[in-house]
Structure 1
Amino acid sequence: MGWRLLAATGMRRGEALALRWRDVDLDGSRLQVRRSLGVVKAKGAGEQLVEGPTKTGQAGGVHIDPDTVAALRTYRATRGSLSPELVRDAALVLGNLDGSHRHPERYSRRFLEQVVQAGRALGEDQLPRIRLHDLRHTHATLLLAAGEPVKVVSERLGHASATITLTVYQHVHPGMGRQAADRFAALLRG
């Protein structure tokens, strides 16, 4: 469910791993992104998982599509059948079965392992090796390519400004230049 959630919302990994059920409004098709999970390495104490503010320090809301709402409903019901503790308001949406946080770096590593495994099954040349964060890039790039206003995409991603969205996430793909030329010619023709 987590990887789908990241792809469907463009959330950062830490934001998704800190998401709690109280932040999920399935009836309103909306998530509240309030916190982010990070790894802190302390001298002599090893690693600690720490929830803190989002990257920008601002909470924000993200609308979710009907298919993702349905998937979250099913996921919640499945987790609730394992233990009612896993679906309480304070419970982590993407937590471990014991209710604890998933380790962000291990979560990314597991994603990459699944991509590699799928690539082997399909044939190495059929699936590029992608990182978990690439789901965020894909989310933003597809929305921008579909003509979604940059301000809307920027708000979905939780960026402080639309400039960040354009600079980091708007990728130019083959054929986009031709499409721009064709659209411009159509505008001139009236």
Structure 2
Amino acid sequence: QKCKVGNSEWVFPSPTGGPMSPDSVLHMLHRVLKRAGLPKVRFHDLRHTFATLALQNGVDVKTVSGMLGHFSAGFTLDTYAHVTTSAKREAAKTMGNILSGAV
């Protein structure tokens, strides 16, 4: 992609060399998803998925919060952190190891 765009600061520049319009990006995304046989998604869905997966896989909340441009880590947790059954199990296992002296 870098060879295609040359010295542009944008990964996917518009035909005029500037940033692509959100409508254009969304149209391209929907075309790609359709070709792949996947359902349409909104950008918010992608943002939500990114934040949830990052938090569930150990990226610290301050980092995720900063990447999302949130004003506080608490807001990020309230909005995106969905504690799953497996996360609860892992937390219980970790605490059990700590309390039993295994860690």
TM-score (norm 1): 0.44
Kindly indicate whether residue 75 of structure 2 is the aligned counterpart of residue 164 of structure 1. Answer: yes
Q: Which is bigger in relative contact order (C-alpha 8 A, separation at least 6)?
A: 1
Q: 1:42 — aligned with what?
A: none
The aligned runs of 1:1-150 (5 Å cut-off) are: 75-80=1-6, 87-88=7-8, 92-118=10-36, 120=37, 129-150=40-61
Aligned-partner Cα distance in 2 for 1:186–1:139? 30
Aligned-partner Cα distance in 2 for 1:113–1:174? 35
Aligned-partner Cα distance in 1 for 2:39–2:56? 20
Q: RMSD across aligned C-alpha pairs, in angstroms?
A: 2.4
| Distance apart, 1:177 and its partner CA | 2.0
Q: 1:186 — aligned with what?
A: 97
Q: Identify if the C-alpha distance between structure 1 residues 78 and 141 changes in structure 2 by more than 3 Å, giving closer, same or farther.
A: same
Question: What are the ranges of 5 or more consecutive residues in structure 2 without an aligned counterpart?
Answer: none
Write the deviation string for residues 20-70 of structure 1: whole angstroms up to 9, x where unpaired: xxxxxxxxxxxxxxxxxxxxxxxxxxxxxxxxxxxxxxxxxxxxxxxxxxx
Percent of aligned positions that are identical = 38
Aligned-partner Cα distance in 2 for 1:76–1:143? 27
| Distance apart, 1:166 and its partner CA | 0.6
Aligned-partner Cα distance in 2 for 1:137–1:100? 27
Aligned-partner Cα distance in 1 for 2:96–2:30? 43
Question: What are the ranges of 5 or more consecutive residues in structure 1 without an aligned counterpart?
Answer: 1-74, 81-86, 121-126
Task: Name the one with the larger helix percent.
Answer: 2
Aligned-partner Cα distance in 2 for 1:130–1:173? 22
Write the deviation string for residues 111-154 of structure 1: whole angstroms up to 9, x where unpaired: 13322331x2xxxxxx5653333332222222211222211221
Are the counterparts in 1 of residues 5 and 11 from structure 2 also a CA contact under 8 Å? no
Residue 161 of structure 1 aligns to which amino acid in structure 2? S
Aligned-partner Cα distance in 2 for 1:98–1:163? 40
